[in-house]
Structure 1
Amino acid sequence: MNPKGEKPKSKITASRKLSLKMLLLTRACEDLERERQDREEEKVRQIAEKLPPLKLSGASLDELQKICKQLYSQIDVVDEERYDCEYKVGKHNKDIHELKLKVQDLGGKFKKPALRKVRVSADEMMRALLGSKHKGSMDLRANLKSVKKEDVKTDKVLTTEVGDWRKNVEAMSGMEGRKKMFDTAGGTQ
């Protein structure tokens, strides 16, 4: 890709693209027309095979009735075949649908339903999990340690020295403060 994030330019000109599209469309139209003609020819061939042309000229009433009965029996046979084919197609479609569901389950590509937020108290949750075994309410605060609160103000007064804090910092800062610490701790030299 370009560092600017632009689309790479095509090496085929717009007029060439248009002519290619036109060629593809004309080829597709020709293929569709050829397929339609093939279907029509197959239909005519199937009808000619199943039902030969009738010779009705110069036939008597008995012969016409016999021809009608033959046609009626052929219609029954064709209807039975059609019904069988429709049943098989329906069964195959159902099998295909079930197999698709199995594949989706195996692949794990199914949509998870959106979960709703539900407010449940601790007691209700324990009842749902444990059923009738849960007895009494669950008081979570009863199990906590109790801590004795002491007076914080009196502790602060005892631990802190009364005085100006700035004097303390100035006295201990720098080398003078370090020297004073050694002098007071170590004694005289």
Structure 2
Amino acid sequence: MSQYDIKSCAFLQRKSKISASRKLMLKSMMVARAKEELEQEMVEKEEQKENYLEDKAPPMQTSSMSLSELQTLCEELHAKIDAVDEERYDIEAKVMHNSRDIKDLNIKVLDLRGKFKRPNLRRVRVSADAILRSLLGSKHKVSLDLRANLKSVKKDDTEKEKTVEVSDWRKNVEAMSGMEGRKKMFDAAKDPNQ
């Protein structure tokens, strides 16, 4: 055995140095640490949100404003709201367009996975002897006539089967209608039994 084989065997024989209780303690510590980091991240996001709102929308003091100043302030706020709504609408339209494009592309990808281009095949006439020669090589010496074993069909028999007399169904209906037809049926049924 080489030295690599000995080392790999020793590695396989080694047991884990960490006990089950130690592993459990480490896992619980990792979960506690992750929970703390998640809570800290949420607090930071709330602070960032408050700072952004303070920058974009500072508190207003409307107590010292006159009626005309309040009206101009309301008009400005309405204009800002309209601009924000237009931006929101444009972004929603872009998102919907992009999601539609993604859906179409996914459909195309699925269609392309299922389909592949098949090559055009040519019909080639090969005799039975040629097939056997290609399969068996030089061992093949006997020529086979595969058509000799086929069952022969006479054309006269098929023509006789096709020329079945077709009678007019209306004559049969008229002949079998009424009491005369029933009498004929009764007589026909009576004759085979005799």
For normalisation by structure 1, the TM-score amounts to 0.46
For normalisation by structure 2, the TM-score amounts to 0.45
Which structure has more helix as a fraction of its residues?
Answer: 2
Structure ranking higher on relative contact order (CA contacts 8 Å, 6+ apart): 2
